């Protein structure tokens, strides 16, 4: 286990390094000058030069990348704009704040959104999928299949606005989406995020219903499930102890990747409900050619995916004794 | 090249699959010794049977001969030409003369191609244009393997398992090969169909004079089809001989045990009771095979010498020429002595 | 035949099993009857699609009830199984009747240790404590010849060799001393030396416990080794039955004869072709009319009036011996005469 973790974490760091280098390089392929935007309307060539210097973009790209890397370990100074202490992921061109601080500000909202909706879609998706698998071909199965087909063809911006209109404005059942930190007021935290959770979870629930159903149907036809029945195990035991155990692995794998994707920012959901999460941050940064911020959010997404992959592999190994961690 | 030279000459053939491991940097920490120093020849028009239990390396051997796998050591000579490490280009002319038939007639045919396309595939790849065209040749081949030439445009799924294996045979025959490596060609088929395919292969061998390396675990089928038979155990040949000698006078204890384990569909109570030797335990791991003779851990006559000295594959005393046995204490026709039998085997009631 | 002087323990009467599929109704078993007494082994021989496995899954009630229609009667120790509730069947399975399968690796749960899988069967049917069940599991592993059973009990199936897995499977099936054991091709995936070990083991255990065994296989050699009585199935029907000696020594049905002719032996002639059965096994979606074997049968034209393609031959069983063929006994005596000469030298 220890060897596995060390090896995988080292691998993850290499991956993040490559991703940051590629992002850096790609960014400079875009013909846009972030200094122009930062400098403002009445920009003189001298001012522009000064801004460029402050932003640290007056060096060749490899040198800039080196400074950026160094900043992570020793911090960095941005002239008039101020200092950025280690670990420094850079300094935002647009809102003139250290990147890391901004991301950390936005992260709690995004994490709340991601984990909250994950709980909803796991419970409903996996539950509906299991019921559909037990009742193969019966009305429950047909309902789950057609329901999930409809739900997965809906779009968040469509469902989101309709739900806002009816559930919040017209009927007033749910609160207007807002974010209160969990530590301040748990009740407000939940009530403010309930609508985004449900809307975001709707489409994912559909996917998990279908995935769980097909995995369960597959494992229910495995030989070892037949053996379990042949030795007199009850249908319930067969279903949960044998079939579900086999179906769990693939579902856990997909769930890890999905969760990581959500932590990278649910851009549309955040936009629809006017929530200031990581997704919105990424969108704004791209629009403003804010390289350090783009880089920071990209690394967050990549880091989340790499991290959850490690977790998934460890969990998979604990589910399936045939997998050896190495 | 004279006629006395074998068609295929294999010497010291070895294949070790590396095992990766270690920390923090992965490296080769061991090897699965799938095939370890094989010597044998196949003469023109002859069928050599390779038998042994799962994990003995017989399939790997087939893949090494056809160069689907790269040998770790040793040489493979085809008509005197060393093809052990030949490049694709050098191998091309030889490839058309050595063909392969696989076990699974379902998986080894492309389901999206018609039978005509499948069988003419080898001709297309090698840019061979027989007189009268490829289609005519394919129809001839279908005829030879006992399929209706009208089925040229059908797809594999329209055929039964036995018919699919016939398609596989037709494809192997397309380039007029001199040697066919058949890897368990009938073991996926029903009993009544197995006999059809064995007869077809026998007809092909006899009428077209094609040499075979016939890999199978069914000893009765191998005896029926192959003039010479090699018995493998844990990556090595333990005995090789003409079939009459091998089945009639097995000298290696493993051969003797293997033959005695084959169930026969006879109920003749007047016939003398067949010898029953029951090996105990399992085949050891090819990652860490026993020293010396690899069979010694399950052998009832193993001594100190067997653990330290690997027995060479030689013509043991009393063997006919060409009958080679790798054993320090070759078997005689005598029954296995009772005290040792009690330890490792059971006598028939 | 021994079955006449003892009450049958398992009795299958005119069993019909039909599946509905997208392509139509598959008549997997079409009127099958047989009896089995305790301590005896019935070998069921047949090729793919003969209905041999379906029959036995039906005895245990492991078919998919939504797609299957079953007619006939299955009596286990006097109890009718086809009308039994799922709960009653659960109590019988693994307890009074159990089953072992061909592919032991796929048939054992990869997620649980071998010991757990044996112990849970024992606990389910006896209500034993965890500790007792574990001790029983170790004892069973020892009985089936697993070395160091107290250590291997905690291994997972993938840590066992092929032969040991099948032994563990047998241990699991026999943990509650069942009176009926159904073995579905238990040695087909194994090497011959391991196959021999497993067959010896089953014979020893049968002597010890008096279990009735149904041994399903396609291999007549295996049948010759383990069976007392033999039932030959073709296209969902029994075509021939009798004692092992009768069926293998003096076959009465052209299909049995064909099977024997298809198998090379260790001492038969080598340079002559085998005599296979032409064609392929029938589709059970649309089986041949009359005798299901007639399209592949070399003797069909010897029967007057084309009876073979129009009328199903009756299986008349006298003293456990019978065959379903329109040929007269005299004709068979004449046509099958070379058989003995070609197989025994």
How many residues in chain B?
Answer: 349
Non-local CB neighbours of A9 within 8 Å, separated by 6+ positions: A310
The nearest alpha carbon in chain A to C108 belongs to A224
Residue C230: per-residue pLDDT: 96
> Residue C47 is nearest to which of B191, B223, B258, comparing CB atoms?
B191
Q: Model confidence at B340, in pLDDT bands (50, 70, 90)?
A: very low
User: Domain residues for C265?
Assistant: 252-343
Which tens digit of pLDDT belongs to each residue from B198-236? 999 999 999 999 999 999 999 999 999 999 999 999 999
How many Cβ atoms sit within 10 Å of the Cβ of residue B91?
17
pLDDT attached to residue B199: 93
Helix H or strand E segment including C169: helix C162-174
- Among candidates C199, C248, C278 on the partner chain, residue whose Cβ is nearest the Cβ of B267: C248
Pick B21's closest partner by Cβ from A6, A10, A326. A326
Nearest CA in chain C to B255: C193
Residue C2 confidence (pLDDT) above 70? no
Taking the CA of residue A244 and the nearest CA in chain C, the distance in Å comes to 11
The pLDDT assigned to A93 comes to 73
Residues of A in contact with C120 (CB under 8 A): 233
How does pLDDT run across B75-105, given as a tens digit for each residue?
Answer: 999 999 999 988 888 888 888 899 999 888 7
Residue A188 class from Cβ within 10 Å (0-12 exposed, 13-18 middle, 19+ buried)?
A: middle
Residue A117 · residue A277 · CB < 8 Å: no
Determine the pLDDT at residue C7.
Answer: 78
The DSSP output letter for B224 is: H
Per-residue confidence (pLDDT) for residue C302, from 0 to 100: 87
Residue of B nearest to A8 (CA): B24
**pLDDT given for residue A156 in this prediction:** 86
**The overall pTM is greater than 0.95:** no
Question: How many Cβ atoms from other residues are within 10 Å of residue C286's Cβ?
Answer: 12
Contact: A224, C109; criterion CB under 8 Å = yes
State phi, psi for C12 to the nearest 5 degrees.
Answer: -110, 125
> How many residues appear in chain A?
326
The answer to whether position C132 is within a domain reads yes
DSSP 8-state symbol, B262? S
Average pLDDT of the segment spanning B319-326: 93
Tell me which H or E stretch contains B99.
strand B98-101
| Average per-residue pLDDT for chain B | 88
Quick one: pLDDT at residue B337?
53
Query: Does residue B213 sit in helix, strand or coil?
Result: strand
The answer to whether position C216 is within a domain reads no
Contacts A227 to C, Cβ<8 Å: 99, 101, 107-109, 169
Domain count, chain C: 2
In chain B, which ranges are continuous DSSP H helix?
58-65, 88-95, 115-125, 134-144, 161-173, 191-208, 219-225, 243-248, 253-261, 304-308, 338-344
Tens of pLDDT, residues C274-322: 888 998 888 888 899 999 999 999 898 888 888 899 999 999 888 889 9
Q: Give contacts of B 170-209 with C, CB under 8 A.
A: 190-196, 198-199, 202-203
Beta strands C41-45 and C229-234, pairing class:
parallel
Read off the pLDDT of each residue in B131-149 and give the average, rounded to a whole number: 90
- Residue C136: the pLDDT is 96
The minimal CB distance from A230 to the residues C60, C103, C120 is found for: C60
Give the contacts of B322 (CB within 8 A, at least 6 positions apart): B228, B241, B242, B245, B315
CA B125 from centroid of its chain's CA atoms: 27
Which positions in chain B touch A6 (Cβ < 8 Å)? Answer: 23-24
Which residues, in sequence order, are bridge partners of residue C43? C215, C230
For C78-115, the pLDDT digits (tens) are 899 999 999 999 999 999 999 999 899 999 999 999 99
Question: pLDDT per residue over B25-39, tens digit each?
Answer: 778 888 999 999 999
Strands in B73-78's sheet, in edge-to-edge order, are B27-42, B8-21, B73-78, B81-82
Residues with Cβ < 8 Å from B290, sequence gap 6 or more?
A: B284, B296, B297, B307
Chains that touch A (3 or more CB pairs under 8 A): B, C
The beta-carbon neighbor of C200 closest among B192, B268, B346 is: B346
Number of Cβ within 10 Å of residue C280's Cβ equals: 21
Name which of C10, C7, C5, C6 is nearest C231 in CA terms.
Answer: C10
User: How many C-beta atoms surround the C-beta of residue A26 within 10 A?
Assistant: 11
Please tell me if residue B23 touches chain A, with a CB cutoff of 8 Å.
yes
Please check whether residue B270 touches C, CB under 8 A: no
Boundary residue ending a domain (C172, C189, C211): C172
Cα torsion C91, C92, C96, C97: sign: negative
For residue C4, what are its two tokens? 């006449």
Q: Quick one: DSSP state of residue B76?
A: E
- Number of separate helices (H) and strands (E) present in chain A: 15, 2
Q: What residues pair up with B9 in beta bridges, in sequence order?
A: B41, B77
C116 pLDDT exceeds 80? yes
| Inter-chain touch A232–C124, beta carbons under 8 Å | yes
Q: Would you report the helix, strand and coil content of chain A in percent, each value rounded to 5?
A: 75, 0, 25
Beta bridge partners of residue C80, listed in sequence order: C75
Q: How far apart are CA C31 and CA C315, in angstroms?
A: 10
Name which of B245, B267, B268 to mutate to probe chain C: the one with the most chain C Cβ atoms within 10 A of its Cβ.
B267
Cβ proximity of B327 and B288 under 8 Å: no
Query: Per the CB < 8 Å rule, is A7 touching B23?
Result: yes
Q: Give the residue carrying structure tokens 């999930």.
A: A148
Nearest Cα residue in chain C from A224: C107
From chain A, pick out residues whose CB is under 8 angstroms from the CB of B21.
326
- Give C91 to chain A, closest Cα distance, Å: 6
pLDDT above 80 for C173? yes
Is C58 a residue whose pLDDT tops 60? yes
Rounded-to-integer distance, Cα B91 and Cα B74, Å: 17
Q: Are A90 and A70 in contact (CB under 8 A)?
A: no
β-strands B8-21, B27-42 pairing: antiparallel
What residue spans define the domains of chain A? 32-88, 105-319
A263 near A302, Cβ under 8 Å?
no
Q: What is the pLDDT of residues A7-31, one digit of tens each?
A: 889 999 999 999 999 988 887 777 6
Q: What is the pLDDT of residue C335?
A: 86
Burial B225-243 (b: 16+ CB within 10 A, else e): bbbbbbbbbbbbbbbbbbb
Structure ipTM:
0.88
The domain boundary, picked from C172, C189, C210, lies at: C172
Give the separation between CA C138 and CA C114, rounded to whole angstroms.
10
Alpha carbon of C12 to those of C15, C32, C75, C78: distances in Å?
Answer: 7, 7, 6, 11
Residues B277, B274: Cα–Cα separation, whole Å: 10
Partners of residue B23 in chain A, C-beta under 8 Å:
3, 6-7
Mean pLDDT per block of 10 residues along chain A (326 residues) reads 85 92 82 68 79 76 86 80 79 81 92 94 95 91 92 88 88 86 90 92 92 95 94 93 92 93 87 90 87 89 92 90 78
SS3 A297: helix
Per-residue pLDDT at A2? 81
Given CB atoms, is C314 within the 8 Å cutoff of chain A? no
Partners of residue A91 on adjacent β-strands:
A98
CATH code reported for the domain at A105-319: 1.10.3720.10
Question: What pLDDT is recorded for position C242?
Answer: 95
Nearest Cα to B162, choosing from B182, B180, B186? B186
Q: What is the per-residue DSSP string for B11-65?
A: EEEEEEEEEEE-SSS-EEEEEEEEEEEEEEEE-TT-EEEEE--TTSSHHHHHHHH
pLDDT over 70 at C246, yes or no? yes
d(C-alpha A98, C-alpha A93), whole Å? 9
Q: What is the DSSP letter of A25?
A: H
Residue C344 has what pLDDT? 42
Query: Cα-atom radius of gyration of chain C, to the nearest Å?
Result: 21
CA distance C142 to chain A (A): 20
- CB-based burial of residue A290 (10 Å sphere; 0-12 exposed, 13-18 middle, 19+ buried)? buried
Contact C196 B263 (CB under 8 A): yes
Subunit contact B191:C192, Cβ cutoff 8 A: no
b (16+ CB within 10 A) / e for C240-278: bbbbbebbbbbbbbbbbbbbbbbbbbbbbeeeeebbbbe
């Amino acid at each position: 286990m220890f060897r596995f973790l060390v090896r995988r974490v080292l691998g993850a760091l290499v991956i993040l390094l490559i991703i940051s280098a590629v992002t850096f390089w790609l960014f400079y392929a875009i013909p846009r000058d972030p200094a122009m935007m930062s400098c403002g309307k009445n920009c003189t060539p001298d001012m522009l030069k000064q801004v460029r210097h402050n932003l640290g973009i007056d060096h060749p790209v490899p040198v800039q990348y080196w400074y950026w890397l160094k900043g992570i370990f020793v911090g960095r100074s941005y002239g008039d704009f101020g200092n950025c202490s280690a670990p420094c992921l850079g300094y935002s061109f647009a809102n003139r704040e250290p990147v890391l601080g901004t991301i950390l500000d936005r992260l709690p909202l995004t994490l709340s959104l991601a984990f909250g909706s994950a709980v909803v879609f796991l419970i409903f998706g996996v539950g509906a999928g299991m019921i559909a698998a037990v009742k193969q071909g019966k009305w429950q199965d047909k309902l789950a299949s057609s329901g999930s087909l409809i739900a997965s063809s809906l779009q968040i911006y469509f469902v989101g606005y309709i739900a806002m209109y009816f559930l919040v404005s017209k009927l007033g059942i749910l609160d207007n989406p807002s974010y209160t930190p969990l530590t301040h007021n748990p009740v407000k935290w939940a009530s403010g995020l309930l609508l985004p959770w449900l809307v975001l979870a709707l489409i994912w629930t559909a996917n998990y219903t279908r995935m769980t159903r097909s995995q369960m149907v597959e494992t229910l036809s495995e030989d070892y499930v037949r053996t379990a029945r042949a030795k007199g195990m009850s249908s319930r035991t067969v279903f949960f102890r044998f079939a579900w155990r086999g179906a769990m692995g693939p579902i856990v794998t997909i769930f890890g990747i999905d969760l990581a994707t959500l932590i990278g920012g649910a851009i549309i959901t955040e936009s629809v409900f006017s929530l200031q999460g990581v997704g919105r941050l990424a969108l704004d940064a791209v629009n403003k050619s804010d390289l350090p911020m783009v880089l920071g959010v990209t690394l967050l997404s990549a880091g989340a995916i790499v991290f959850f992959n490690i977790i998934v592999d460890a969990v998979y190994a604990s589910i399936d004794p045939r997998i050896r961690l190495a | 090249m004279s006629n006395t030279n074998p068609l295929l000459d294999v010497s010291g053939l070895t294949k070790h699959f590396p095992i990766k491991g270690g920390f923090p940097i992965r490296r080769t920490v061991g090897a699965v010794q799938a095939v370890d120093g094989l010597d044998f020849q196949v003469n023109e028009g002859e069928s050599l049977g390779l038998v042994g239990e799962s994990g003995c390396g017989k399939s790997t051997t087939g893949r090494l001969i056809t160069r689907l796998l790269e040998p770790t050591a040793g040489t493979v000579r085809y008509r005197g030409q060393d093809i052990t490490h030949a490049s694709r280009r050098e191998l091309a002319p030889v490839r058309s003369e050595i063909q392969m038939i696989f076990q699974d007639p379902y998986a080894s045919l492309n389901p999206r191609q018609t039978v005509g396309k499948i069988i003419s595939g080898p001709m297309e790849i090698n840019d061979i244009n027989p007189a009268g065209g490829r289609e005519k040749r394919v129809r001839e081949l279908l005829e030879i393997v006992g399929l209706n030439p009208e089925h040229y445009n059908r797809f594999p799924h329209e055929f039964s398992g036995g018919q699919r294996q016939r398609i596989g045979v037709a494809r192997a025959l397309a380039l007029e090969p001199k040697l066919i490596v058949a890897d368990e060609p009938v073991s996926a088929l029903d009993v009544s169909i197995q006999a059809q395919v064995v007869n077809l292969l026998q007809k092909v061998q006899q009428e077209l004079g094609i040499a075979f390396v016939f890999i199978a675990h069914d000893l009765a089928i191998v005896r029926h089809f192959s003039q010479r038979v090699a018995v493998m155990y844990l990556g090595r040949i333990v005995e090789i001989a003409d079939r009459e000698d091998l089945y009639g006078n097995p000298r290696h204890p493993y051969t003797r045990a293997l033959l005695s384990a084959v169930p026969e569909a006879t109920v003749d109570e007047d016939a003398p009771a067949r010898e029953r030797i029951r090996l105990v335990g399992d085949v050891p791991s090819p990652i860490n095979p026993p020293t010396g003779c690899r069979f010694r851990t399950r052998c009832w006559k193993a001594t100190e010498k067997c653990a330290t000295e690997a027995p060479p594959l030689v013509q043991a005393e009393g063997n006919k020429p060409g009958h080679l046995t790798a054993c320090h204490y070759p078997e005689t026709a005598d029954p296995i002595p009772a005290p040792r039998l009690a330890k490792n085997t059971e006598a028939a009631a | 035949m021994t079955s006449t002087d003892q009450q049958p323990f398992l009795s299958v009467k005119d069993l019909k099993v039909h599946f509905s599929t997208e392509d139509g109704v598959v008549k997997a078993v079409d009127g099958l009857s047989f009896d089995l007494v305790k301590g005896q082994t019935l070998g069921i021989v047949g090729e793919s699609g003969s209905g041999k496995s379906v029959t036995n899954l039906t005895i245990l009630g492991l078919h998919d009830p939504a797609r299957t229609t079953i007619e006939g009667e299955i009596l286990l120790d006097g109890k009718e199984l086809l009308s039994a509730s799922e709960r009653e069947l659960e109590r019988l399975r693994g307890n009074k009747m159990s089953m072992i399968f061909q592919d032991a690796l796929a048939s054992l749960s990869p997620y649980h240790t071998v010991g757990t899988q044996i112990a849970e069967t024992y606990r389910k049917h006896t209500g034993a404590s965890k500790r007792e069940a574990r001790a029983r599991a170790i004892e069973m592993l020892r009985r089936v010849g697993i070395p160091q059973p107290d250590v291997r009990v905690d291994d997972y199936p993938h840590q066992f060799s092929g032969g040991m897995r099948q032994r563990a499977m047998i241990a699991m099936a026999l943990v509650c001393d069942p009176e009926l054991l159904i073995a579905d091709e238990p040695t087909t995936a194994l090497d011959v030396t391991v196959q021999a070990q497993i067959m010896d083991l089953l014979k020893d255990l049968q002597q010890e416990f008096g279990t009735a065994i149904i041994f399903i296989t396609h291999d007549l050699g295996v049948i010759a080794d383990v069976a007392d009585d033999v039932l030959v199935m073709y296209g969902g029907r029994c075509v021939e039955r009798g004692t092992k000696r009768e069926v293998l020594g003096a076959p009465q049905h052209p299909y049995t004869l064909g099977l024997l002719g298809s198998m090379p032996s260790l001492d038969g002639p080598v340079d002559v072709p085998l005599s296979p059965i032409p064609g392929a096994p029938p589709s059970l979606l649309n089986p041949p009319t009359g005798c299901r074997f007639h399209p592949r049968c070399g003797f069909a034209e010897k029967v007057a009036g084309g009876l073979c393609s129009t009328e199903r031959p009756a299986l008349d069983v006298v003293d456990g011996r019978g065959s379903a063929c329109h040929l007269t006994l005299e004709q068979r005596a004449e046509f099958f005469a070379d058989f003995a000469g070609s197989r025994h030298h």
